[in-house]
Homo-oligomer: A and B are copies of this chain.
Amino acid sequence: MGIGQAREHAPADSKTSGSGSREEGARLDRAAVEQAGRRLADRVWRTPVIRCDQLDARSGARLWLKAENLQRGGSFKVRGALLAVEHLAASGSRGVIAQSTGNHAIAVAFAARQYGLPAIMVLPSDAPPAKIHRIREAGAQVVTAGTLLADRVAAVAELRELHGYDVIDPYQNPHVVAGQGTATAELLDQTAAEGVHLDAVVVPIGGGSAIAGACLTAEGRGVSVVGAEPQAVPALTTALRAHRPVTVSARHTIADGLRPDRIGALPFALAHRAVAAVETVSEEAIADAMRAAFLHARLVIEPAAATALAAALEHASRHGADVGVLLSGGNVEPSLVASLLTGQEPFAPHTATV
């Protein structure tokens, strides 16, 4: 699929992408992910694929955990951000703006610093303080705007007007989507090197860049792409039923990274034709998966990653014997982990939110 075609699917969101004219001629397909992987070599960690007997036993499948919680910046999003910022820097950009629930902003801030570009990040007002801290640590400015995707998109438009910076959309930018796909591509390569053909990969769904990238790289490889989203924010489930992106009425979820209440148009276009299934999981299952990752796999994962793990623990055996799980990030609020470990109830929203 060419970028032009992808963008035709994305009229509603295309105004949030500030890089339109710069992308002409790029293609967005499995080869684009492979090319992205080559460009990222030695710039991101080749994160390990981790096995865990106890999680295998619970899921009834062999789980291959792609530990992007161990990635630079604490999530897979640095992959796409580096490519997008690199492209803009080469095009003479004066600065970058991005809206994000957190990890895309951390990643863009990290990448912008590498290229010496100023960066302004727009986050929801209830974003985890740990994520905001990491963005500021990377030298970017943080602006908060409401709790809904639409609030952030509006703020981005204003800031873009004011500063003349380029917007790096977290779900629509083709460099971002290709870059995010490299996490799944690496997982498939790493398991293949062990002589294992994955039957499925489970990826969490926020705005959709992870699943979009996974769909691209899984193309023609005989691996099912399974989405995982909180029951509280069933953005892709609802969109697939409606055959178009829909703004859902989101309830509170501890999976702060998966709070976007609408799937991006580009991810939807890719997922619509390629996704094998979308599993929704409860807040309790997400919390339980975070605990299980901690206690059994000794990994610190954030609730978005735990959403994919929860879906795998509950449903992996329906999708095959060897199932990959994208542990998307590890930027979690320490107090949330502490409360999970001491058996406290983490589900009540501690701030006003959607």
Contact = CB atoms under 8 A, between A and B. Distances in A.
A341 B330 contact: no
Q: How many chain copies?
A: 2
Contacts of A298: 69-70, 74, 299-301, 330
A295 B341 contact: no
Given A294-B300, A300-B299, A341-B337, A53 B72 contact: yes
A299 B67 CA distance: 11
Contact of A300 (B300, B339, B342): B300
A26 to B, nearest CB: 29
Contact of A334 (B300, B334, B342): B342
A299 B52 CA distance: 14
B50 A295 contact: no
A100 to B, nearest CB: 19
Contact of A335 (B52, B330, B339, B341): B341
A70 to B, nearest CB: 6
Nearest to A49: B48
A165 to B, nearest CB: 26
A335 B295 CA distance: 12
Interface in A308-354: 330, 334-335, 337-339, 341-342
A341 B335 CA distance: 7
A110 to B, nearest CB: 9
Contacts of A341: 334-335, 337-338
A115 interface: no
Contacts of A335: 341-342
Interface in A39-94: 45, 48, 50-53, 67, 69-70, 72, 74
B50 A297 contact: no
A345 B51 CA distance: 33
Contacts of A294: 300, 334, 337
Contacts of A72: 53
Contacts of A297: 70
Most buried by B among A52, A294, A298, A330: A298
Nearest to A295: B334
Contacts of A53: 72
Given A53-B72, A69-B298, 14 more contacts: A45-B51, A48-B48, A50-B70, A70-B298, A298-B299, A298-B300, A298-B301, A298-B330, A299-B300, A300-B300, A337-B337, A337-B341, A338-B339, A338-B341
